[in-house]
Chains A and B, each alone.
Chain A
Amino acid sequence: MSTAMNFGSKSFKPRAPDKGAFPLDHFGECKAFKDTFMKCLRDNHFDNSKCRLQSKDYLECRMDHQLMAKEPLEKLGFRDLMDPPPSQADKDSKP
Chain B
Amino acid sequence: MLLPLLVRPSLCSSRASVLLPGCIQMLPGGAVARTLHFQAEDFLRRRLPARLVTQSRGRKWRSQQDEWRTRNKTVLTYIAAAGVGMIGLSYAAVPLYRLYCQASGLGGTAVAGHDTEQVATMTPVKERVIKVTFNADTHASMQWNFRPQQTEIFVVPGETALAFYRAKNPTDKPIIGISTYNVVPFEAGQYFNKIQCFCFEEQRLNPHEEVDMPVFFYIDPEFDEDPRMARVETITLSYTFFEAKEGQKLPLPGYSYN
Contact = CB atoms under 8 A, between A and B. Distances in A.
A21 B200 contact: yes
Nearest to A30: B212
Interface string B79-114: 000000000000000000000000000111110000
Q: Which residue of B124, B194, B252 has the most chain A CB atoms within 10 A of its CB atom? A: B194
Contacts of B110: 13, 15
Given A22-B197, A24-B198, A75-B120, A13 B209 contact: no
Contact of B160 (A3, A34, A62, A77): A77
Contacts of A74: 120
Interface string A18-42: 1111101110101100100110010
Interface residues of B, number: 58
Contact of A38 (B150, B156, B200): B150
B195 interface: yes
Interface stretch (B5-13, B15-23, B55-63, B182-190): B182-190
A47 B110 CA distance: 28
B108 A10 contact: yes
Interface of B: 106-110, 116, 119-120, 122, 124, 126, 149-150, 152-156, 159-162, 164, 180-184, 186-187, 189, 193-201, 203-206, 209, 211-214, 216, 218, 252-258
What are the 3 A-B residue pairs with the smallest beta carbon separation, nearest first?
A77-B160, A55-B162, A21-B201
15 contacts: A3-B254, A10-B186, A11-B108, A12-B183, A12-B253, A14-B252, A22-B216, A46-B150, A48-B153, A48-B156, A52-B160, A75-B119, A76-B216, A77-B122, A77-B160
